[in-house]
Amino acid sequence: MDEPQIYTRLDEIFRDVFDDDVRVTRELSAKDVDGWDSLTHIRLMLTIEKAFKIKFSTSEIGKMENVNDLVSLIKARG
């Protein structure tokens, strides 16, 4: 899966999880989205894992600072 396809799928997931029109960009992080708290983060990660059929370790999730980090991990697993 290439980067544009990943971003398209992430756009759908973010809209579903946040019930909002969140624009997914490389720099997007939790501080940029209202309602992105720890529970929502868990739901987001689980939804992404299921959609891409991958599994992140706790340390990988903890190191992510923005969507670009997330996309890099997804690409590495693809």
Give, for 59, the enclosing helix (H) or strand (E).
helix 58-63
Q: What is the C-alpha separation between 16 and 2, in angstroms, rounded?
A: 22
pLDDT in tens, the chain (78 residues): 899 999 999 999 999 999 887 899 999 999 999 999 999 999 999 999 999 999 999 999 999 999 999 999 999 987
Separation of first and last alpha carbons in the chain: 6
Task: Supply the range of the domain harboring residue 65.
Answer: 3-77
Model pLDDT, residue 1: 87
Q: How far is CA 64 from CA 8, 11, 19, 54, 72, in A?
A: 19, 17, 22, 16, 10
CB atoms within 10 A of CB 19: 8
Question: Domain containing 42 — which CATH number?
Answer: 1.10.1200.10
Model pLDDT, residue 67: 98
- If one counts the domains in the chain, the total is 1
Give, for 35, the enclosing helix (H) or strand (E).
none
